Structure 1
Amino acid sequence: MQAGKDAIYSYPQTIEPFRFDQAVAEVFPDMIQRSVPGYATIIDTIGQLVGRCAQDNSHIYDLGCSLGAASLAASKNLNKTNCKIIAVDNSAAMVERCRLHTKAFKSACPIEVLCDDIQNIAIKKASVVIMNFTLQFLAPEERNSIIAKIFAGLLPGGILILSEKLQHKDAVSNELLIDLHHEFKRRNGYSELEISQKRSALEDVMRIESFESHQQRLLSAGFVEVNMWFKCFNFASIVAIK
């Protein structure tokens, strides 16, 4: 299924809250590459982390899988026996395309794609859990419980890979990094109108936190190591080890 170019916010419009609907699903690969610095590196390294940390007879969960990029990276690097990848997203449009992508790949490791709220998913026998820019779309009051559930479902030595957009406590630094991110988007062809309108659409949907907040939540849940392995502007990825 061919992906198109992201032009969703290229004309003046009444701004509705951002949703992962059919229009977004059709252009998502272009949108994410042009919007998130280092996205390809994050996906590639998620695959490497799965290759290193997955365990025999275990599950790998991709929570908020969108079109399945992280699941496919995991599958390409997985070298353990009797494993299964469980990819979950609550967007029917995303899940439809994710299923097509995973079927076309013909993975040696089974990939089960579920259309459901990740809060409804039981985490069992997990050696790796991936939340790649997912937690930021959950209500803040739900975040502690989902992290606690993930920790409980991880095997000893299991890992959580958590990628998030961050805010910074220092206002000057925060604005500088936001400006650098906007310049990144300009250099990738987005207009000022597109940048402004998408920011408005995300304002009440994506509620971001500081690295310190994420670190404290993960440590409080019981993770023994929490390390930021990637950061560019206000985007980061963290690995937490049980």
Structure 2
Amino acid sequence: MTDSANKTHDRIYATPHAEVADFSFDERVAQVFPDMINRSVPGYATMVHGIGRLTARYAQSGTVLYDLGCSLGAATLAMKQNNSAENCLIVGLDSSKAMVERCQTHVNAFRGNTPVEIRLADILTADYEPCSVVVLNFTLQFIDPDMRYALLERLYQALVPGGILILSEKIRADDATNDALLIDLHHEFKRDNGYSELEISQKRAAIENVMRLNTLPEHIERLQAIGFSHIDNWYRCYNFTSMFAIKGHN
């Protein structure tokens, strides 16, 4: 394996940590993030592809398209490559400086007619312009549960009629047996992708305090309460899902 490959291969939890710190999107994670997420999230590539297709259908001319918690820009790039609506701006927001520094260069390397701006920002306090597509691709799960409704309500208000929110999340099941099975299947997926028992255990310990999961019904009920007219779970693999919520015209 080359030095370059070593730098991009996720081995953050491959050796024992005396104390497993809470997971954060720091420089170490930014360096290996594409490898980490593709080996950790079943169906990730399909979800990103779907985000591009949904953008192609729902982007409206003269609006902003947001990727909130854009990390290295996989969803941003899918939006850029699929959007054909005129006079749009794609804005990616992320609170990780390490991610933002890499994201703009990454997105610029690929073709697409829609301009893209990547900004260092807190999505909870950012100002949102009229938008037709908003993507939260495994972002909401890292937001304080008490702040999720208010954030989604602000995004609903910023969306133009007919606009779409695309929400991808890791979820938990209400039924304990089902939840345990889904967790086991996910861990098998990670083993099949080369993660050791030590890596799986330490990553789980690192993330349990920073990722607070909702059930699928909780997500749907919250979106309904905010006012979205059409909501569905368009993709799911094990305990990873992606939903859409469309704002009505009335």
Same-fold call, TM cutoff 0.5 = yes
Any residues of structure 2 matched to 1:12-161 within 5 Å, and which? 12-13=16-17, 14-161=19-166
1:6 maps to amino acid: D
Q: Is the 8 A contact 2:100 2:119 kept in 1?
A: yes
How far residue 137 of structure 1 moved from its aligned partner, in angstroms, is 0.1
1:127 maps to amino acid: S
Match of 1:168 among 163, 173, 186: 173
Q: Is the 8 A contact 2:81 2:111 kept in 1?
A: no
Q: Secondary structure of the residue that 2:245 maps to in structure 1?
A: strand
Any residues of structure 2 matched to 1:187-206 within 5 Å, and which? 187-206=192-211
Distance 1:186 1:37 in 2: 12
Distance 1:185 1:106 in 2: 32
How far residue 106 of structure 1 moved from its aligned partner, in angstroms, is 4.6
TM-score normalized by the length of structure 2? 0.95
2:14 counterpart residue number: 10
Runs of 5+ consecutive residues of structure 2 not aligned to the other structure? none
Kindly provide the CA deviation profile for residues 151-206 of structure 1, in whole angstroms up to 9, marking residues without a partner as x. 00000000000000000000000000100000000000000000000000001000
How far residue 65 of structure 1 moved from its aligned partner, in angstroms, is 0.2
Kindly provide the CA deviation profile for residues 42-73 of structure 1, in whole angstroms up to 9, marking residues without a partner as x. 00110000001101111100000000010100
Runs of 5+ consecutive residues of structure 1 not aligned to the other structure? none
Question: For the aligned residues, what is the CA RMSD?
Answer: 1.1
Distance 1:163 1:240 in 2: 11
How far residue 107 of structure 1 moved from its aligned partner, in angstroms, is 3.2
2:71 maps to amino acid: S
Distance 1:102 1:191 in 2: 32
Counting aligned pairs with the same residue, the percent is 52
How far residue 103 of structure 1 moved from its aligned partner, in angstroms, is 2.0
Distance 2:129 2:153 in 1: 13
Number of residue-to-residue matches in the alignment: 242
Any residues of structure 2 matched to 1:163-242 within 5 Å, and which? 163-242=168-247
Q: Secondary structure of the residue that 1:118 maps to in structure 2?
A: coil
Q: Is the 8 A contact 2:231 2:246 kept in 1?
A: yes
TM-score normalized by the length of structure 1? 0.98
Q: Secondary structure of the residue that 1:73 maps to in structure 2?
A: helix
Query: Which structure 1 residue ranges, 4+ long, deviate > 3 Å from structure 2?
Result: none
